[in-house]
Amino acid sequence: MLVIEDLRVSYGPIEVIHGINLAVNAGECVALIGANGAGKSSTLKAICGLVPARSGKITFDGRDITNQPGHAVVRAGITMCPEGRQVFPQMSTVQNLRMGAYIRRDADQAADLGRMMDMFPILRERAHQAAGTLSGGEQEMLAIARALMARPDLVIFDEPSLGLAPKIVADVGRTIARIKEMGKTILLVEQNSAMALRLADRAYLFEAGEIVLSGTGEELQSHPEVAKAYLGH
């Protein structure tokens, strides 16, 4: 579904992604793990058109989307649940969800809104509450539901557990697993490497802007260097 070939990304004169190659197959959950600053989020932003690729190619469903603007990437079938959730704080929960479906012109938006409320009951309770007044966990659920409102083929998660209590982190993990069961393809960046590798069919380890290791989630969990550096054992 998604193929990245020799991708290079720079911020000004500083190159932060050094010619990486990776792929995500339809129906998979693929995790990107590594230390802060390793290049994971920059890779996601390049896919979504938020930062330009210096060189290389990004292909989605056979279509070249390299350096396409963000709205074109969404129309192609990719949505991102961003780091820090980034809900619209002054807008209500329902208004935030409707923003997720902004590009759609079909008649099923109301039905999808109801499905999101069923999937995340707390959002029904908070339907008319300003999103900025929700708790961190509630905002994360809203950000996930908002991404799903676009009916994407590929859902990208950037640090979904960031700043959340352990119980809420577990809820987020279960939610991502449920979304995969719904048939969605997932690309996940997550500092909680143990959770990410449990969820992942395959994973890539980033170090200093390069991919230094890849394999199934189980293979990386059992790899001694990954276990020592990222899993605490």
pLDDT tens digits along 44-53: 999 999 999 9
Residues 49, 32 within the same domain: yes
Residues 105, 160 within the same domain: no
CATH number at residue 43: 3.40.50.300
Measured distance between the N- and C-terminal CA atoms of the chain, rounded to whole angstroms: 34
Burial class of residue 121, CB neighbours in 10 A (0-12, 13-18, 19+): exposed
Domain that holds residue 98: 84-138+146-151
Residue 233 has pLDDT above 70, yes or no: no
Residues 103, 70 within the same domain: no
Residues 36, 103 within the same domain: no
Residue at a domain's end among 108, 125, 151:
151
Contact 54, 8 (CB under 8 A): yes
How many domains is the chain built from?
2
Residues 159, 73 within the same domain: yes
Cα distances (Å, whole numbers) of residue 92 to 88, 97, 117:
8, 9, 14
Residues 105, 203 within the same domain: no
Buried b (16+ CB within 10 A) or exposed e, 3-13: bbeebbbbeee
SS3 (DSSP) at 151: coil
Residue 228 — pLDDT band, cuts 50, 70, 90? confident
Percent of the chain with pLDDT over 90: 88
Residue at a domain's end among 151, 172, 195:
151
Percent of the chain with pLDDT over 70: 100
Residues 92, 62 within the same domain: no
Q: Nearest Cα to 47, choosing from 77, 14, 18, 83?
A: 77
pLDDT digit string (tens) for 100-114?
Answer: 999 888 889 999 999
Residues 18, 71 within the same domain: yes
Residues 49, 114 within the same domain: no
Q: What is the pTM of this model?
A: 0.93
Residues 73, 104 within the same domain: no
Residue at a domain's end among 130, 151, 172:
151
Residues 219, 161 within the same domain: yes
Residue 189 has pLDDT above 70, yes or no: yes
pLDDT at 144 (0 to 100): 96
> What is Dmax (Cα atoms) for the chain?
52
- Mean pLDDT in the chain? 94
CB atoms within 10 A of CB 90: 10
pLDDT at 86 (0 to 100): 93
Residue 231 — pLDDT band, cuts 50, 70, 90? confident
Residue 232 has pLDDT above 80, yes or no: no
Whole-number Å distance between alpha carbons of 185 and 179? 8
Residues 69, 14 within the same domain: yes
